Structure formats: structure tokens, C-alpha cells
Structure 1
Amino acid sequence: MTSPNGNTLSIEREHPAHAIVLIPDLELVDDPVTYGIEFMQDFIGATGGFAHLLDISELLRIVQAAEMIAERNTTTTLMMAFDYYLMERAKKAVDAGTLCIEVLLRFADNETTAD
């Protein structure tokens, strides 16, 4: 990975902030409870990071949301927006009690929310 100036960036890989598992379709998960609160707590405890179970459509929505967030703020990079949106999505997953969720970005009065 490089910076916008072309400098090589060092990335800490031992404890990633996000672990993304890409599956063909979220509907293939037979038992969403398997990826519920207990799984999330165990994963956070073991890694210090957040697990994300995504299908291709959800990953595309996250990338598009990050682009929209970054475009609205001159100091927010695309990677910062991507990280922010994944964090907001993780909060929604906790609220839903499962990693098997779909989230849409909505802007309301210049405030970003994930629904």
C-alpha cells in the first residue's frame, strides 16, 4: 500500500482492526445466530478487531458509502471513510445481534448515519 505521494506505508497486520469474510450471498448463511453476539465478543476478545461477514453487494455498498463520505469532507481520506463506515456497521451488527446484516448509508442534515 502506498500514500497519495507514492511512499510505501507500513501496515500493522498482526492485529487487524477489521476482518472481512467475503461470501457469495448472505442468504447462504443457514443460521445467523451462529454469527451473533457471542461470536462477535469472542472474536473481539481474541483479536481486538471486528469481524464483518459480507457478500459482494454489501461490500460494494460499503465502498460506495466510503466514497460518498470522503467526498463530503476535504480532510477525510477514502480509507478513513471506509474504516469509519465499517465501525458504524459493526455497531449496527451488535444492535441486530448478528453479523448477517445489510446496511445503507443515509445523510440527514449533513450527518452520516448507517441504517
Structure 2
Amino acid sequence: MQNPYKPKRFGEALRELEKDGINRKALDIMRLWMLTGCHREEIASLKLQEVDFEHGCLRFGDTKTGKAVRPIRAAAIAVFETIERADDSAFVSPPERATAISGATRRHGKRSSRRLACPA
């Protein structure tokens, strides 16, 4: 039996959702979940200053356990580089309203899980 959690299958599900017109910010966040292993809220609230492109890592100033450094691969950096930036925001992917990204990623995360036939 094929493992439903394989990144290739998740990537295929995200491409299908992109064709369906999914919210682009939610799609980017879900891609970054897969590529970084970070939690939804860590990515949704990630600040530009926490992404270290030069050293290929995320430098979180505040997590449940304090400061944290997490290595990221070139694929994650490529996603970060494609995200449209808002000039007036410190965040990687700022929401249009406070709950927009969290709600969108939760909703679309469930849709991608259904396409993969795996639990959300």
C-alpha cells in the first residue's frame, strides 16, 4: 500500500487545488508546511526577518520552547521567493484580515487531505 503522506502526493493535491482557484496565500502556507515541517501558525505568522536566505534556515524568535533555528532546503526557499510581498508588512504572507489565513489554511488543508484520502 502506498503511503498517503508522501510529499509527492501532497504536492499533486496542492497543484489540483491551485487549478481549482484556491487562495494563493493558503496554498503557499501549505507548501511551506510540507517543505519545512513547521506548524500552520508558525508559517502563517512568520516574519521576513526570521527567514535567513543566506544560511538556509528559519530563525524563530519565539516558539513554545523559546528561540529556535530550523534548517530549510532549497525547495522551501524557492517558495518563499515566489510569495508576493506587501511593502508595509513585516510578515512573509500577511492576511487581508486577522483570521483570514488561519481559516483558509484550515479549510484548504482539509480539502487537500480528502484528495489524499488521509486524515486532516
User: Which TM-score tier does this pair reach, normalised by the shorter chain?
Assistant: under 0.3
TM-score, normalised relative to structure 1: 0.24
The structure with the larger Rg is 1
Specify which structure has the higher proportion of strand.
Answer: 1
TM-score, normalised relative to structure 2: 0.23
1 or 2 for the larger relative contact order (CA 8 Å, sep ≥6)? 2
